[in-house]
């Protein structure tokens, strides 16, 4: 089953340059987010039948800019979260700029995918977008064994490594909901499935302090977070 729809940005400088990645395979994936309150794909992707019409034509598919990632995730014209593939996966894009050591645009070359930001308050959209991103990353790892889980990074992490410009995406968005890139990499490993967690709370009263402490120790050894309190009769 296809995860993306194809809408190549054939007018972009990156597409026209057609610079193959070293050995023809990506070394990793950079997860970007757009930094603008506009979750609609039509802002970035020239595919009016799927995304809707952009009268300003300021998408990536234009000849006056070399900036272009490999893919974009956001809302289509029907309000559904979709992933657009706008460059072939095995050619170099221009997405992360340069860092102190070089750039993941070229060598080593990373696949780079943008997620369209909204106002960073809609958790439902956030989870759907990052779930689809995780599924796409999982598929790309299967298609390109050169991609290792530890090399699926945010733009911010790529900057810390020295291979991208000083942006904070998408860590700032993840942090809004209490997550980080380690959580996202776990999501990739689980092919986008968010594990359900259950909390069990129970209480028991003991008349004997040593017996209470003994049971507390046993439960802690089983991995329980145990708190013992003293009741005054």
pLDDT at 233 over 70: no
Which tokens sit at 118?
């909204």
CA gap 74, 115 in Å, rounded: 6
Which range (28-37, 116-125, 194-203) has the least confidence?
Answer: 194-203
Architecture of domain 4-189: 3-Layer(aba) Sandwich (3.40)
Give me the pLDDT at residue 135, please: 98
**Alpha-carbon distance 9 to 144, whole Å?**
22
CB-count burial class (<10 Å; 0-12, 13-18, 19+) for 55: exposed
Q: What is the pTM of this model?
A: 0.85
Q: What 3-state class would DSSP assign to 110?
A: strand
Q: Would you say residue 232 has pLDDT above 80?
A: no
pLDDT of res. 197: 62
- Given a contact cutoff of 8 angstroms between Cβ atoms, the answer to whether 212 and 206 are in contact is yes
Calculate ∠ Cα 103-28-73, nearest 5°: 95
Domain ranges of the chain: 4-189, 198-233
The answer to whether residue 43 scores a pLDDT higher than 70 is yes
Q: What percent of the chain has pLDDT over 70?
A: 97
Tens-place pLDDT, residues 70-116: 999 999 999 999 999 999 999 999 999 999 999 999 999 999 999 99
Question: For residue range 118-157, what is the model confidence (pLDDT) as tens digits?
Answer: 999 999 999 999 999 999 999 999 999 999 999 999 999 9
**Helices first, then strands: H and E counts in the chain:** 7, 6
CB–CB of 140/11 below 8 Å?
no
pLDDT tens-digit readout, 161-182? 999 999 999 999 999 999 999 9
Residue 219 has pLDDT above 80, yes or no: no
């Amino acid at each position: 089953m296809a995860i993306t729809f194809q809408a190549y940005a054939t007018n972009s400088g990156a597409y026209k340059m057609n610079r193959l990645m070293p050995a023809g395979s990506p070394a990793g994936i950079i997860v970007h987010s757009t930094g603008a309150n506009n979750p609609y794909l039509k802002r970035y992707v020239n595919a009016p039948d799927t995304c809707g019409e952009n009268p300003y034509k300021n998408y990536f598919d234009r000849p006056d800019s070399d900036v272009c990632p490999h893919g974009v995730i956001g809302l289509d014209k029907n309000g559904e979260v979709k992933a657009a593939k706008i460059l072939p996966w095995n050619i170099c894009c221009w997405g992360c700029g340069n860092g102190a050591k070089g750039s993941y645009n070229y060598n080593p070359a990373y696949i780079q995918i943008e997620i369209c930001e909204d106002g960073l308050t809609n958790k439902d959209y956030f989870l759907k977008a990052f779930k689809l991103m995780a599924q796409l990353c999982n598929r790309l790892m299967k298609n390109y064994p050169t991609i290792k889980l530890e090399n699926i990074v945010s733009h911010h992490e790529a900057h810390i490594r020295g291979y991208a410009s000083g942006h904070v995406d998408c860590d700032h968005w993840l942090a809004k909901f209490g997550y980080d890139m380690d959580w996202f990499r776990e999501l990739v490993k689980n092919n986008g499935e968010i594990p359900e967690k259950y909390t069990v709370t129970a209480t028991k009263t003991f008349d004997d302090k040593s017996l209470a402490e003994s049971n507390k120790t046993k439960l802690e050894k089983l991995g329980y977070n145990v708190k013992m309190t003293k009741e005054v009769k």
